Amino acid sequence: MSRPIAANLEIRSTGKGDHIACRSCGHALAPAGQPWKRQAILRELSMNGAGGKAYTGAREAILRQFGCPGCGALLDSEMALPGEPFLDDIVRA
């Protein structure tokens, strides 16, 4: 059984408990209620110029993209400053 929690994430119930998993391939990222982004593939891009002149004043801002290690699907993204901790959404079953 599974329950969608985002476009590409779901809570999947297995014999070993509930896990946050990729909706595309089923890759289990973390137990429900635990941070999952550290298990994803991280890509950081500069936001400088990404949106035209709107971002030219924040040269250090980055876009983080979190990809599935199983299939490469984009799972989530966030804006941050370098070295900032991940914005963890704690999802409980």
Residue ranges binding Zn ion (CB under 5 A): 22, 24-25, 27, 68, 70-71, 73
Nearer to Zn ion, 35 or 70 (CB): 70
Least distance (Å) between residue 79 CB and Zn ion: 23
Q: In what order do the strands lie in the sheet with 28-31?
A: 2-6, 9-14, 17-22, 28-31
Nearer to Zn ion, 30 or 73 (CB): 73
**11 contacts 71 by C-beta, under 8 angstroms:** no
Least distance (Å) between residue 19 CB and Zn ion: 13
Nearer to Zn ion, 64 or 66 (CB): 66
Least distance (Å) between residue 58 CB and Zn ion: 31
CA distance linking residue 2 with residue 12, whole number of Å: 4
